Structure 1
Amino acid sequence: MPEIGEVARIVHYIHKHLVGRTIKTCEAFADDIVYGKVGCSSDAFQKHVTGRRITGAAQQGKYFYITFDKSPHAVLHLGMTGWMKFDAEETGYYRNPKAKEEEWPPKYAKFLLKCEKETVKGEAREAVQSAFVDARRLARIRLVDCEADNIRNETPLKENGPDPVRDKEIVTVEWLSDLLNRKRVPVKALLLDQGNVSGVGNWVCDEVMYQARLHPEQYSNTFSKAQTKQLYDALIEVCTIAVETRSDSSQFPETWLMKYRWDKGKKDSNVLPNGEKIVHLKVGGRTSAIVPSVQKKTGAVAGDVDEDGETKVAKGRKRKSKAADEEDEEDEEDPEEKPVVKKGRAAKRAKATPVDEGEEEDVMAKNKRGKKALKVEDQADGGAEGDDELVKPVAKTGKGKKVTPKKAEKPATPGSRRSTRTKS
């Protein structure tokens, strides 16, 4: 997924090929997800952008925006696979040497911009075409109606945290310390939240945590002042280098984890040059690369991770089914709602016996809702003819407590026994 360095690369090429140019034509291709999810449309985008002059481009974390000589302006997010391509040169941060020469316009294009040959500020500029592509349709394209200088105070940029490279006057040690102590979440989850910090993605965050020698699962509010300073220094350094090199990994320091982390699952190869082992684990649902020998846990840690970084299998009772949970909730809401249900042989032996009208009214008056049927169990003493005994439903009087009412006593009549088949 494109992160702060990859977005910086996009902005670089927009400045190189488009800023100062007039868009002769804009062909936007209908997509109710890429445009529609943010309240825009391909028709609206095409109509506004055609004929506009591009006055600038910049980024805030994973977002970038293109300003025109007339409002509204374009704010874009690359999603997982979005990119800006130019027919003048290759703009990707890596290229598969076996890949075939791509046709133009490229596949999965969401819009296509064309600029004719022209002179800009005394400089002759050749004709150029640019396309925004996204195969997975997770990118977002929108128009924001505001003054160009005020665009970062509008949605969606205002909902995102400061950019650690562009907003260094905001992102200070004191600011980071306050952010860490406001929440109790795994520190990696906090840094990945774009509402806290803009532009930090998975690999950048892992690099920051490795350079700071901190464990990504440790709770954010458990770090000392010295550790917070280490985290701040690593955050600024990693993000700045990523932006300045435009995410060209060949220019990254040789000491960076990013250069060696991609051999997950390969025996004896997922190690640093000094022999330290790289371990992969899940943090907040994201695959994380750490070096356990230097990233020690010094405070409370989310999850259950051993010293080598491997996730342990938690032991304990199995999780109850959803149906069982719902039954428990119903019982808690109304403990007297359900009578005891007999199972097995007891259920087979249970017999229903008619209840006299007076007795029925008495029992129903004691029942909270008056909807439960009485259950009568005919019990014989040692198999001999004996007394009929009326058994009332078992009631719950509290959480988990069951109380069985005393059996009603009736005078015995020698030699007689009322049968359920006896006609009244």
Structure 2
Amino acid sequence: MPELPAVERARKLIHENFLGKTITQVVTIEDAIVYHECQNTHFEELVGKKLVDTGRRGKIFYLLMDEGPNPVLHLGMTGSVRIKGEPGLEYMDFSTEDDNWPPKYWKFVIRFDDDRELAFTDARRLGRIRLVDGDVLIQPPISELGFDPILSMPTLELFSDLIARRNCPIKALLLDQSFSAGVGNWIADEILYQARVHPAQRTNTLTPAEIKALYEQTQFIIKTAVKFNADGNQFPVDWLYHFRWGRGRKKDRGVEMPDGSSVVFETVGGRTSAIVPSVQKLHGANTSEKSAIKKEIVEDTGEASLRSALKKRTKSAVTDGDVNDAAVKRPKTGSRIKDAKPVIVDDPTLDIRPKRGKRVIAEGNVNNDDSGVARRRSARVAAANGKQR
């Protein structure tokens, strides 16, 4: 999916090739889904208008004309722009290469006064095309966006405050465009990996150090990706980006980082997340203790399932003589012990005998602690054993 760096690349492509040019022709195709709050025929109003600037906020970019209205564009999952006679843009999930013109899945083609043509394409129809009169920055959809990590990154103090207001998995917050405009799935995973934060970590359990790391990595990851014009081949070699795309491929069932650390895939915030468990660990009061223990047992033993991991840990504990509470279930204090014999205590003042069918309290079956319950239980044992005499 085109995220902020890819959208910035599309904006720059238009800016560098058509700035100052006048539109001489517009051809559109009807699509009631992609054209949002306008019809394709409304684009005919752009004829005779000059492109005076371009801009972007998050994943949305726009074309400013010398007279309104102004096209506001969102690429969605598979949207892109093409210039006639030039190669299509490449994305990790898809390519826009096409020898035909107009290209496949085109929605509009604009011809400028230098006879060059610009096309907008969208295979899955999840993109959006709008025409907005007036200042596009103070109207939806741009007015509904959060901070842009390139254009309007808040201070660390404000960033921390924005996180503190929420109580949700940090991955879900990063993907919320009303919080951080432009962050998509792979960028969120990269930020969390580089910051050493688990995507399911609740925002209200993040430490100040983790928040600072998230703040710094959000800027670094996006600025670096923009610097390399969204070309993943030029991204730093230690980025998770290079190893997160193998899920589902038979030859890549076991995905690993260069240092051998495993990459696992879990659904967090409704999206598939690439995680490196060796450095991204859950913590805090809101973390499910049971799930954390299970995960730790599986990782420690190297087994694929909790059942086989518990068997391995139990066997190891018995062999080594170090019985682990998580592996071996201990008998409950005060439970019936078959054939237990009372211990005789020399105390003639006691005249209490255990009745038939009642529980016999035997020596060694009293929890040796300092609680009142333990002291009263000890007294009953002494009394019972004394009467046996």
**C-alpha separation between the residues in 2 aligned to 1:216 and 1:32?**
36
CA RMSD of aligned residues (A): 2.5
Moved more, 251-260 or 301-310: 301-310
- Matching residue of 2:41: 43
Correspondence 1:244 to 2:239: no
- Matching residue of 1:277: 262
Q: What TM-score comes out, normalization by structure 2 length?
A: 0.71
Deviation at 1:285, TM superposition (A): 1.8
Asked if 1 retains the 8 angstrom alpha-carbon contact of 2:98 and 2:104, the reply is no
Which structure 2 residues correspond to residues 398-413 of structure 1 after superposition, within 5 A? none
Structure 2 CA distance for partners of 1:175 and 1:312, relative to 1, 3 Å: farther
Moved more, 127-136 or 299-308: 299-308
Cα distance per residue 1:322-351 (max 9 Å; x no partner): xxxxxxxxxxxxxxxxxxxxxxxxxxxxxx
| Residue in structure 1 matching 2:240, options 250, 257, 277 | 257
- Matching residue of 1:71: 68
Which structure 2 residues correspond to residues 5-404 of structure 1 after superposition, within 5 A? 5-35=5-35, 38-45=36-43, 47-94=44-91, 101-117=98-114, 127-146=115-134, 150-168=135-153, 171-265=154-248, 266-267=251-252, 269-300=254-285, 304=291, 306-307=295-296
Asked if 2 retains the 8 angstrom alpha-carbon contact of 1:186 and 1:302, the reply is no
**C-alpha separation between the residues in 2 aligned to 1:175 and 1:102?**
49
Structure 2 CA distance for partners of 1:80 and 1:311, relative to 1, 3 Å: farther
**C-alpha separation between the residues in 1 aligned to 2:182 and 2:160?**
19
**C-alpha separation between the residues in 1 aligned to 2:179 and 2:93?**
35
Cα distance per residue 1:123-178 (max 9 Å; x no partner): xxxx31111011111111111111xxx3211111011101011113xx22112211
Asked if 1 retains the 8 angstrom alpha-carbon contact of 2:170 and 2:202, the reply is yes
Structure 2 CA distance for partners of 1:190 and 1:269, relative to 1, 3 Å: same
Asked if 1 retains the 8 angstrom alpha-carbon contact of 2:89 and 2:96, the reply is no
Instruction: Please identify which structure carries the higher helix content.
Output: 2
User: Larger Cα Rg: Structure 1 or Structure 2?
Assistant: 1
Runs of 5+ consecutive residues of structure 2 not aligned to the other structure: 308-389
- One-letter amino acid of the structure 2 residue matched with residue 3 of structure 1: E
**C-alpha separation between the residues in 1 aligned to 2:144 and 2:272?**
26
- One-letter amino acid of the structure 2 residue matched with residue 139 of structure 1: G
**C-alpha separation between the residues in 2 aligned to 1:97 and 1:44?**
30
Structure 2 CA distance for partners of 1:96 and 1:160, relative to 1, 3 Å: closer
- Matching residue of 1:357: none
Q: What TM-score comes out, normalization by structure 1 length?
A: 0.66
Structure 2 CA distance for partners of 1:19 and 1:301, relative to 1, 3 Å: farther
- One-letter amino acid of the structure 1 residue matched with residue 51 of structure 2: I
- One-letter amino acid of the structure 1 residue matched with residue 247 of structure 2: K
3-state SS in 1 of match to 2:255? coil
**C-alpha separation between the residues in 1 aligned to 2:189 and 2:94?**
28
Cα distance per residue 1:272-318 (max 9 Å; x no partner): 111111111110221100110011112245675634799999xxxxx
3-state SS in 1 of match to 2:23? coil
Deviation at 1:116, TM superposition (A): 3.2
**C-alpha separation between the residues in 2 aligned to 1:129 and 1:31?**
20
Runs of 5+ consecutive residues of structure 1 not aligned to the other structure: 118-126, 314-424
3-state SS in 1 of match to 2:214? helix
Asked if 1 retains the 8 angstrom alpha-carbon contact of 2:11 and 2:54, the reply is yes
- One-letter amino acid of the structure 2 residue matched with residue 40 of structure 1: C
Asked if 1 retains the 8 angstrom alpha-carbon contact of 2:88 and 2:98, the reply is no
Deviation at 1:230, TM superposition (A): 0.6
Asked if 2 retains the 8 angstrom alpha-carbon contact of 1:6 and 1:93, the reply is no
**C-alpha separation between the residues in 2 aligned to 1:291 and 1:75?**
38
- Matching residue of 2:347: none
Deviation at 1:88, TM superposition (A): 3.5
Asked if 2 retains the 8 angstrom alpha-carbon contact of 1:114 and 1:130, the reply is yes
Deviation at 1:94, TM superposition (A): 4.8
